[in-house]
Amino acid sequence: MNKTKIDWTDCTWNPTTGCTKISAGCANCYAELMAKRCKLMGLKKYRNGFDLTLHPDMLDKKLSYREPKMIFVNSMSDMFHKEIPLEFIDEVFTYMRRAPQHIFQVLTKRGDRLEELSPYLFWHDNIWMGLTVENEQALSRIDNLRTTPAIVRFVSIEPLLGPLPALNFEGINWVIVGGESGPKARPMDLDWVRPIRDKCIEMNIPFFFKQKGGFRKQEGYNILDGQVWHQFPPNHIK
């Protein structure tokens, strides 16, 4: 498990690494960049670079934290990638269930496979399920998310690439929004963010504004209309 600078979690845990791009939000994938860098550095876990790789050894080890943490699962991969067998995902879910002091935040872009496999998984209250969307074309993934019985269903809208007037947050318990970061960051207009925040306020959904995005983190990177929006669902740990 690794500490992270991501503000909506405490640490990351990657029982798989690697992925393949599926939509516009993947264009400047941070995980791909990091995986290739780690391979060049000779890190054993990244011997396959960004090719999808299972790490069953991660399921043998005890999690390094005893005190409760929020844990982002598969920051370097996508748990519902088609090359990850259901049996392995089931093992990961069993592992998470056995550490009930922690909250595991699973995030995917593969909404269709999530919906397909969800009935075969044992959902425990410490497993939050998240779906990433970036533009209008990706919105149907939220319908896939709604079919899961996760206690917290969250939507991560990062990188936000355009306005989303057709967003429907019915059945959603948490919303995260962020702009793209890094040298090739595509700009985000705060006027795309405001209607999302306002809809969250109207529907009483916790809203988390992660960052404006851009090449480098600037002063006030997480301020929207004079305020930091770091809201969490009621049963969070932070």
Task: Give residues in contact with ligand SF4 (CB under 6 A).
Answer: 19, 21-22, 25-26, 29, 31-32, 77-78, 109
Q: Minimum Å distance from CB 110 to ligand SF4?
A: 8
Q: Smaller CB distance to ligand SF4: residue 27 or 203?
A: 27
DSSP 8-state symbol, 136: G
Q: Smaller CB distance to ligand SF4: residue 25 or 206?
A: 25
Q: Minimum Å distance from CB 45 to ligand SF4?
A: 15
Report the distance separating Cα 143 and Cα 146, nearest Å.
5
Q: Minimum Å distance from CB 202 to ligand SF4?
A: 30
Q: Smaller CB distance to ligand SF4: residue 137 or 235?
A: 137
For tokens 């791909």, name the residue. Answer: 32
Q: Smaller CB distance to ligand SF4: residue 22 or 190?
A: 22
Q: Minimum Å distance from CB 231 to ligand SF4?
A: 24
Q: Minimum Å distance from CB 133 to ligand SF4?
A: 12
238 in Cβ contact with 231 (< 8 Å)? no
Q: Smaller CB distance to ligand SF4: residue 22 or 43?
A: 22
Do β-strands 16-17 and 174-178 pair in parallel, antiparallel, or remain unpaired? unpaired
E strands in the chain = 2-3, 11-13, 16-17, 53-54, 70-73, 103-108, 127-133, 153-157, 174-178, 207-211, 223-224, 227-228
Tokens (6 digits) for 128: 């939050």
